[in-house]
Chains A and B, each alone.
Chain A
Amino acid sequence: MIYQPSLIAVVVFAVFVAITLGLSFYLGSQARSASGYFAAGGHIHWFVNGIAFAGDYLSAASFLGICGMIAFYGYDGFLYSIGYLAGWVVALFVIAEPLKRMGKYTFADALDSRFDSRGIKLAASVSTLAVSIFYLIPQMVGAGALVKPLFGFPHWLGVVLVGAVVITIVVTAGMVSTTYVQFLKGSLLVIFSAVLTVLILNRGFTAAPMPAAQRVTVTGQGVRMVNGQPQSAENDLRPVGTVVALPGGASSSGPLGPWRFLETLQASTVVLWRSEKIPEADGSVTTVYTPTATAGAEVLRPGNHPSFKGIRGDSVTDKLNFLSLMLALFAGTASLPHILIRYYTVKDQESARKSTIVGIASIGFFYVLTLYLGLGAMTSGAIDVTDENMAAPLLARSFSEFLFAAISAIAFTTVLGTVAGLIVAASGAVAHDLTRFFKMDLNDTNKIRLARITAVVVGIIAMVLGIVFKGMNVSYLVGWAFSVAASANLPALVMLLFWKGTTARGITASVTVGMVSSLAWILCSGDTFSKVYGLPASQALVPFSQPGIVTIPLAFVVLVVVSLLTARPPLQVNGNQTPEDQAG
């Protein structure tokens, strides 16, 4: 669809950026010490920190990706919501308080708290950088993809805009300004999603006739034809999102309560769209979008999306793939470096616990809303059949132009908040962990200087990657980040807490093997073959795409075996480490 850039969206976004930048400069003086820069001095109130957790965690993939997936395929997107939230249970019950007790600025601090091992510092900082970069790419590509329909700017300008604003936020006030940006963004995202949900419930459903199929042809010369004529404002794709039958043959449901809304949909018939690409003899490619009347009961159960079809089949590898994904979502959250550093911004363990609970409540509430937003978009009559990611903003447009502007600006700031957290995590890994691996004894001033330089460098790398990966569907990189984080970081954290026999070399080996094996598995998987290399998925070297179910246990086994092999002799008296243990 051709989008008219929205002046209100530009204004709303500009106001938000002005506020966040002003806040950053105002707070800049609080980030002059290393503790201020990396951990906001531990002064953040637990409630603010809890909402900032939501602002940190709910990335563009959560907001736009999940809403789009539900709008196009029904329940399957909600599986991600459930998995993403479940991960917070691990964070609260297992990780939060010990991490706060044992660390200072980074999660490597906690891993290393009993050992002072160079190996742990190196392995943990490399895994932090790897996970952060994987997570950054889809955020930046998302910024570029959003900016075009929303503001009318080219892709690169969106990426550079986000990069420049985030670098400024991080460089001026580190974790202090990052926290408040995430707090603002988290609050706005939850509040506006709730407003949209109320409007959806109030509108209810209205039955409409079955729509006709649509075709987009891209000719060899790159001209886009819609339904046989060149694409223009007059001849554009028709917006989609239809209920074709309501229970009892009603024409309209009127306002509905949250439960009645789902009951009504369960008993209705809606239209889902399937697309097929057909290469033609003259070198042009036609994509045909076909409407399919689908029972509501079918929409509200899992297994409609291509990635989840396997759970209704008989293939064991498809089922393992699903288990593996749900395990990575469960174990990944409490292993993401940009989430873990937020435990150091509060004053004590009790605040760490309380802020996690606030995080769980706000993120859980948001994920409940994603179901209504997705289903509301599915039945809004306003959706672009070619672009899943635009489902949430277009849903907002079906109510009012101002809401569209607000939701678009919030989607854009969603990218800002998450990217800022990732860049702080990466700069901590370099300035705090890597420098100690190289035995550089930096004072506070130099440490912050190095952290700022790292923030600029990582920000520029993210911008370049965001431009290079333009046009690729990179949302699966978020999945990579979860799998790599869960495999590399979680086994080491958990075993350190619960097994006294854990040694420095055990941790180093576990982080390294977890990271390398999960990455290697992903690079050899069918998903990567088809989506990245353009090869048939059947040539993949591993039986299914999600590594977690293999590589997370592997990292546990490696930790135990290496720890047993490098255990210190039992005659140790003073509780000091032996030289070989310290060598890591």
Chain B
Amino acid sequence: MHGHTPSDTPETEASHHIERRARYGLVLFALYLAIYGAFVYLNAFAPAVMAAQVGGVSLAIVYGFGLIAAAVVLALLYDFLCRRLHA
């Protein structure tokens, strides 16, 4: 990914995989950043929204749990994509 041409490294296939994994990582990172960014934005600029009730509790709680769950789910998805690459 640092300008290696295939002849640079003996493991041509590995460097191809490295680039694919990096791309998966960036896409998932951008996705999470959007969810986290929206959370921070709402807290700062529309704090009343965070007090709204969703399923009997505040949106702040639901969104907070959602962020933690999203991190775990995206992490597992990333692992799945990386392993499929090697299969």
Contact = CB atoms under 8 A, between A and B. Distances in A.
A263 B56 contact: yes
A302 B43 contact: yes
A311 B56 contact: no
Given A93-B28, A319-B44, A357-B79, A266 B57 contact: yes
Given A89-B71, A94-B25, A500-B2, A302 B60 contact: yes
Given A266-B57, A354-B79, A82 B68 contact: yes
Nearest to A308: B43
A300 B68 contact: no
Interface string A477-512: 000000000000000000001001000000000000
A93 B51 contact: no
A75 B60 contact: yes
Interface string A83-109: 001101110111001100100000000
A360 B25 CA distance: 15
19 contacts: A78-B60, A79-B43, A82-B39, A85-B68, A90-B29, A93-B29, A94-B25, A97-B21, A263-B56, A263-B57, A300-B57, A302-B47, A312-B47, A323-B40, A353-B78, A356-B75, A357-B75, A357-B78, A364-B68
A303 interface: yes
Contacts of A199: none
A114 B25 contact: no
Contacts of B72: 360-361, 364
B53 to A, nearest CB: 7
Interface residues of B, number: 40
Nearest to A320: B44
B10 interface: no
Nearest to A303: B47
Interface string A63-80: 000000000000100110
Nearest to B3: A500
- The A contact surface, by secondary structure, is helix
A412 interface: no
Contacts of A297: 51, 53, 58
Interface string B53-87: 10111101100110111011011101100100000
B47 to A, nearest CB: 5
A497 B72 CA distance: 24
Interface string B4-39: 000000000000001001100110110010001001
B44 to A, nearest CB: 5
Q: Output the residue of B3, B25, B79 with the most chain A CB within 10 A.
A: B25
Contact of A311 (B26, B47, B58, B74): B47
Contacts of A368: 65, 68
Contacts of B26: 93-94
Interface of A: 75, 78-79, 81-82, 85-86, 88-90, 92-94, 97-98, 101, 114, 259, 262-263, 266-267, 297, 300-303, 311-312, 319, 322-323, 326, 330, 350, 353-354, 356-357, 360-361, 364, 367-368, 371, 497, 500
Given A90-B29, A319-B44, A326-B40, A361 B57 contact: no
Nearest to A359: B75
Contacts of B68: 81-82, 85, 364, 367-368
Given A301-B51, A319-B44, A353-B82, 7 more contacts: A88-B71, A89-B75, A92-B75, A93-B32, A94-B29, A98-B22, A262-B56
Given A86-B32, A302-B60, A101 B75 contact: no
Contacts, number: 123
Instruction: Summarize B's interface: helix, strand, loop or mixed.
Output: helix
B74 A89 contact: yes
B35 to A, nearest CB: 9
Nearest to B66: A82
A82 B72 CA distance: 13
Contacts of B25: 92-94, 97
A98 B21 CA distance: 10
A302 B2 CA distance: 43
Contacts of B45: 319
A360 B3 CA distance: 32
A330 B26 CA distance: 15
A78 B67 contact: no
Nearest to A362: B72
Given A89-B32, A353-B79, A300 B60 contact: yes
A364 B21 contact: no
A47 B10 CA distance: 30
A262 B72 CA distance: 22
Contacts of B47: 301-303, 311-312
A266 B58 contact: yes
Contacts of A364: 68-69, 71-72
A17 to B, nearest CB: 32
A66 to B, nearest CB: 12
B40 A89 contact: no
Contacts of B75: 89, 92, 356-357, 360-361
Contact of B18 (A88, A97, A354): A97
A364 B53 CA distance: 23
Contacts of A85: 67-68, 71
Given A86-B36, A98-B22, A114 B64 contact: no
A58 to B, nearest CB: 14
A293 to B, nearest CB: 18
